[in-house]
Amino acid sequence: MFSEFKKFLIRGNMIDMAVGFIFGAAFSTVVKSLVDNIVMPPVGMLLGQVDFAQLYISLDGNSYATLDAAAKAGAPVLKYGAFINDVLSFVLLGFVIFISIKAYNKIKTTPEEDEAIPEESILLLREIRDSLKK
């Protein structure tokens, strides 16, 4: 089992996964910033000066002026505005990844495409083979 793991590491799969994970995390941070700082402020403005990150429901029955005030009081709260931001970030990130993979698949050549047009020498050899069969 150790030798299999060593082969796995040497082939570079581990490095590829690590690089992909790091880029994914960085890209996720950028998308989160895009949603929180660019997309949601105009949406909140259109909905009547609402800051989605500050939307919450207090679970202790008391009313607090802001989310910070509820946090300072130690009140349990449901931060549904932050959840809306996170869901939007997830959908946007998923869409960007979908578009990226679709573009990658479009430019990637498959082995079937490479073999679709045989070389002239292969065609000639096939003709010879077929004539020998007859």
Torsion of CA 96, 20, 30, 94, to 10 degrees: 30
CA–CA separation, 43 vs 35, rounded Å? 10
pLDDT digits (tens, 9 = 90+) for 51-75: 777 888 888 888 888 888 888 888 8
Structural domain of 72: 2-133
Check: pTM over 0.85? Answer yes or no. no
* Domain count along the chain: 1
pLDDT digits (tens, 9 = 90+) for 82-98: 888 888 888 888 888 88
Q: What is the pLDDT of residue 110?
A: 63
Backbone angles phi, psi at 12, to 5 degrees: 100, 0
What rounded mean pLDDT belongs to the chain? 80
**CATH classification at residue 41:** 1.10.1200.120
